[in-house]
Amino acid sequence: MKTRYAFLDVYRGLIVLLMIEGHAVREFLHPALQTSGAFQFHEFIHGVTGPGFLFGAGITFGISVQHRWGEFLSLTSVSFRRIGKIAILLLLGYTLHLPFLSLHKTLQASTQEQWLRLYSFDVLQCIGFTLLIIHLGVFTVRREHWFPRVLPIAMPAILIASPFLWMADLTSVPPAVSTAFQGALGSVYPLFPYSAFLFAGAFASYEFMNFAESGREGVFVKRLALGGTALTAGGAVFLAATNESDRGAEFWNSDPTVMVVKLGSLFLLVSGAWTLEKVLGSFQNSKSLRWLVLLGVESLFVYVLHLVLLYGSVLNADSHLSALWKGRSDWVYALLISIAFTAFLVTTAWIWNKIKTSHPAMFRMIVWWMAAVFGYEFLTRPY
């Protein structure tokens, strides 16, 4: 029977919380205040959210594959359901990038910039394609004892290759492909280097389960915390000792040292979530943290909803929060708005979760109805 680890939901909840606050403050804070050291520190902290989602997806995958290794080795109904879930992730990711609510208009009237936006990799695309790659890896390796040995080889290989791929001239490669490898055309989370975080999560889950089976979870968490401290501190010292003059966006999104610092930060977040569980008892029974667990459980729903409300989509291109308050607030108002926005999302997630758990048939009907209406509109609208 598959065990659900509550501290992982809290970890995901913390990542969602950082994501909401980071996106909201970035949108609402006045541009003049976005040149300060405080904002640069804020951006670095916010920079762990995307890797955090990938790391969490890797942990979930690793736990699942250890429970059901045999099911990953053949094309069964279970395998197809799992691939179907990945396909939904990718479909959601690309739907959020659609320029128009019309297939005909998208094909006929999209500009080059809009096509690049559609092709670009965000966190859902990175998670989806990396999961497909790691599924293929399991199917290829076959022997379970080899799988956790391949992961720590793949992680540094991806990180080392990333700066070279980001500097490479890929103009001869179709944009639909090159966006997966570098951020030059607008990808926020291309496979290089960000897929390494999902591989790291899968490897961490193997180590965690090995310790958990012998009742030594605490030993693993202590080692994870020590490793996170070493990676974060060591990477920060190395960055402080190097020349800052050539550090552009490419550096902060592809340099292996920066990625190592972010990985160390995630180790600390996971170990902190586990420690909180031991200190406070069951998260599910702790009213003060129940909302954080909820954010973790419904992280995909909150992720999609917050993007639509904050930045808009083909459904609300001109009526979203960014259109109302972009760049108009100081730190106090930006933080207050982000708190109010978080409270709204928590409430909405609670309603969504309540329907899903208490009325599963109604929930499935609502989901299929929304998908059918959207699909019909997209396919049939002439322009």
Give domain status of residue 171, yes or no.
yes
Residue 253 lies in a domain: yes
Distance CA 204, CA 198 (A): 10
DSSP string, 15-28: HHHHHHHHHHHHHH
Q: Which pLDDT belongs to residue 3?
A: 64
The residue among 87, 90, 88, 108 whose CA lies nearest residue 99 is 108
**What is the rounded distance in angstroms from the CA atom of residue 115 to the CA atom of residue 134?**
28
CA distance 176 to 179: 6
Residues 6+ apart with CB under 8 A from 371: none
Whole-structure pTM value: 0.94
Asked, for residue 61, whether it belongs to a domain, the answer is yes
User: Which domain range does residue 178 map to?
Assistant: 6-345
Helices 49-67 & 191-213 angle (0-180, nearest 10): 50
Q: Are 345 and 20 in contact (CB under 8 A)?
A: yes
pLDDT, residue 101, reads 96
The answer to whether residues 7 and 15 touch, using CB atoms and an 8 Å cutoff, is: no
pLDDT value of residue 247: 73
Which two structure tokens, joined as six digits, stand for 106?
A: 């998208």
Structure confidence at residue 285 (pLDDT): 57
Q: Between vectors from CA 133 to CA 128 and to CA 137, what angle results, nearest 5°?
A: 145
Distance of CA 303 to the CA centre of its chain: 9
* Count of domains observed in the chain: 1
pLDDT tens, N- to C-terminus, the chain (383 residues): 456 788 899 999 999 999 999 999 999 999 999 998 889 888 888 889 999 999 999 999 999 888 888 888 887 777 888 899 999 999 999 999 999 999 999 999 999 999 999 999 999 999 999 999 999 989 888 888 888 899 999 999 999 999 999 999 999 999 999 999 999 999 999 999 999 999 999 999 999 999 988 889 999 999 999 999 999 999 999 988 887 666 777 888 899 999 999 999 999 999 999 988 777 765 555 666 788 889 999 999 999 999 999 999 999 998 999 998 899 999 999 999 999 999 999 999 999 999 999 999 999 999 999 999 999 999 999 88
Two tokens, residue 170: 């890929």
List of residues 6+ apart from 222 with CB closer than 8 A: 271
- For residue 222, tell me if it sits in a domain: yes
* Tokens describing residue 39: 């904002």
How many CB atoms are closer than 10 A to CB 194? 28
Asked whether residue 37 is domain-assigned, the answer is yes
Q: What is the pLDDT of residue 1?
A: 45
360 found inside a domain = no
What is residue 51's three-state secondary structure? helix
Query: In degrees, to the nearest 5, what angle opens at C-alpha 309 toward C-alphas 11 and 19?
Result: 25
Q: Tell me if 356 is assigned to some domain.
A: no
